[in-house]
Structure 1
Amino acid sequence: MTFSIVACDPSTGSWGVATASRYLAVGSMVPAAEGGVGAIATQARTNAAFRSLGLDALRAGRTADEVLTRLLDADPGRAARQLGIVDSTGSTATWTGSECGGYAGGYAGEGYVVHGNLLTGPEVVTAMQEAWTKSNPDDPLAHRLLAALTAGDAAGGDRRGRQSAAILVARKGSDYILGTDVEIDLRADDHIRPIAELGRLLTLRYQEV
């Protein structure tokens, strides 16, 4: 019921997640990121504990593959999970359990993961991948994440429709939100066009700096 991109920009030290779903407040459940550490998207029958557990393991220096194995081995519900991870070096891992509904799948490339479940078809993942790889690496990570999310939505997105979307970007030393490394934390929790609303909010955010 969700499609997401997890990615990093090592040149700026930014890690982030963009996600959309026909589900209320997807941003409260799916994304996690820490500057210089990594980023995670946990979805399908979401295990929200993967966010803190995964970041702890990444912070301890484990690779994306090691974190994926560690989380899934301890989870009896892993067949219904979908998980994407990018670690501090840009290495990636993705998992789509056999019990994820509808079309469900993902792709892990260099420095990014795109995945989704209950999608209209594989073209959603393909469109997100192409949008990411064709995006300008000099653009802010949040804009590149939004471009991928927009492409996935245009290709069909969540087969049930639209409701919410979110972008989370963390960069070490950002301190935009005092005492944290969070640079962008924007959500459209219940909106008829959540990704477009996310774009509007992102424009406002960059007008502040």
Structure 2
Amino acid sequence: MGMRTSHRILAQCVIALACVLLPRAAWATWSVIAVDMATGRVVIASATCVDRDDAFLSGIQAVVVPGKGVAACQAGVDGTHANQMLVYRELQKGTDPARIIEMLSADPAFQSRQFGIVDLTGRTAGHSGLSNGYVTQDIQGQVPGTQIYYSIQGNILRTGDVIPNAVRAFVHTKGALTDRVMAALETADQYGGDSRCVCPPLPADGTKPAIACEGRTAYIAYILMANRADVSGDSHSNGKYALYLTVAQPNQQGPNVIKPGENLNPVKTLRTRYDAWRKTQPVSYK
């Protein structure tokens, strides 16, 4: 093997390693995570303007520990899943979310990351890195008079109004924890969501599109809820959970793509599917 060939192979290996280790830019854009100490439920929902399959976003972003807590790992996402697994293990141990953020800060790419963490003791923490895409925000809090705690965060948002209005919707919506989370996700969408996304142009011949598109600010969206007794998987987001609804664009594969009669805005389609699921729940679901 010649010297030039050896150098070429070495360079290719270095590039491949860099692709794994460097943060992947702006994969997740806005998310809502919440817990209800009264019911033991944890919930995460999110949407982003990255056109991928229906399992992509939750698979790279969500950290779900039934009976313990929930987290979102987004912005410059760690493609190695080391950060996600750190959060997962520490939530299992009962580590304070603020301490988990401190541990994550050892990552050289920490300022490109965004995190929200909430546990079932009511502790919350968040981080929005200085090199996150503008607008980037995270807000944590408790719904007054309840045992409900939340963290809502986003990056590359259209305006600075997105997250504060999502928080207001979450706090003021009545009903189950998932109702609050869906309302917050929708409100972020209504206030502009991801600044990169728009609807496709209308057909040049003036015909009606096969699938409607209303104010698309994301390509994919999902909502996930775990009850206290749900079973974790062997990773940070692949357990058996009480609720998992996800939406992807029609050009993707799988049973959860947007279909005729739905909407190319995945948050609107997620709302439709969530409402259908909600009707199947007993009156006692609160």
| TM-score when normalising by structure 1 | 0.90
Is the Cα–Cα contact under 8 Å of residues 226 and 242 in structure 2 kept in the other structure? yes
How many Å separate the matches in 1 of 2:61 and 2:190?
21
> How do residues 1-209 of structure 1 correspond to structure 2 at under 5 angstroms?
1=26, 2-23=29-50, 24=52, 25-47=56-78, 48-73=81-106, 75-110=107-142, 111-136=149-174, 139-161=175-197, 162-174=218-230, 182-190=241-249, 191=258, 192-209=264-281
- 1:49-108 deviation digits (Å, cap 9, x = unpaired): 3333212101111111011111222x1111100000001212100000011012111111
Corresponding letter in the other structure for 1:39:
V
> Could you tell me whether the CA contact under 8 Å between 2:230 and 2:241 is conserved in 1?
yes
- Please give the alpha-carbon distance, in whole angstroms, between the structure 1 residues aligned to 2:241 and 2:48: 22
Identity rate, percent = 28
Gaps of 5+ in 1: none
User: Does the Cα contact within 8 Å between 2:139 and 2:152 map onto a contact in 1?
Assistant: yes
Within 2, Cα distance between the matches of 1:126 and 1:167? 20
Q: d(CA) in 1 for partners of 2:71 and 2:83?
A: 8
SS in 2 for 1:53: helix
TM-score, normalised via structure 2 length: 0.67
In structure 2, what is the Cα distance between the partners aligned to 1:108 and 1:189?
Answer: 28
1:44 CA drift (Å):
0.4
Tell which has more relative contact order, 1 or 2 (C-alpha 8 A, sep 6+). 1
Looking at structure 1, the residues matched to 66 and 119 of structure 2 have their Cα atoms a distance apart, in angstroms, of 10
If each structure's strand is expressed as a fraction of its own residues, which one has the higher value?
1
CA contact (8 A) 1:27 1:166 kept: yes
Amino acid aligned to 1:37: K
The 10-residue stretch of structure 1 (192-201 or 93-102) with the greater mean CA deviation from structure 2: 192-201
Contact 2:40 2:120 (C-alpha < 8 Å) held by counterparts: no
- Structure 1 segments of 4+ aligned residues over 6 angstroms from their partners: none
C-alpha separation between the residues in 2 aligned to 1:90 and 1:183? 21
Superimposed CA distance per residue, residues 139-158 of structure 1 (whole angstroms, 9 cap, x where no aligned partner): 22222111000000101100
CA contact (8 A) 1:34 1:171 kept: no
CA distance in 2, matches of 1:103, 1:91: 25
One-letter amino acid of the structure 1 residue matched with residue 275 of structure 2 = T
Change in Cα spacing, 1:204 to 1:50, as seen in structure 2 (3 Å) is farther
Amino acid of the residue matched to residue 186 of structure 2? T
2:85 counterpart SS class = helix
Amino acid corresponding to residue 154 of structure 2 in structure 1: G
> How far apart are 1:207 and its partner, in Å?
4.1
Q: Distance in 1 between matches of 2:230 and 2:110?
A: 34
Maintained 8 Å contact 1:27/1:189:
no
Q: 1:49 to 1:135 in 2, by over 3 A?
A: farther
Question: Distance in 2 between the 1:49 and 1:128 partners?
Answer: 29
3-state secondary structure, aligned to 1:29: helix
| Unaligned 5+ runs, structure 2 | 1-25, 143-148, 198-217, 234-238, 250-257, 259-263, 282-286
Select the structure of larger CA radius of gyration.
2
Match of 2:213 in 1: none
SS at match of 1:103: coil
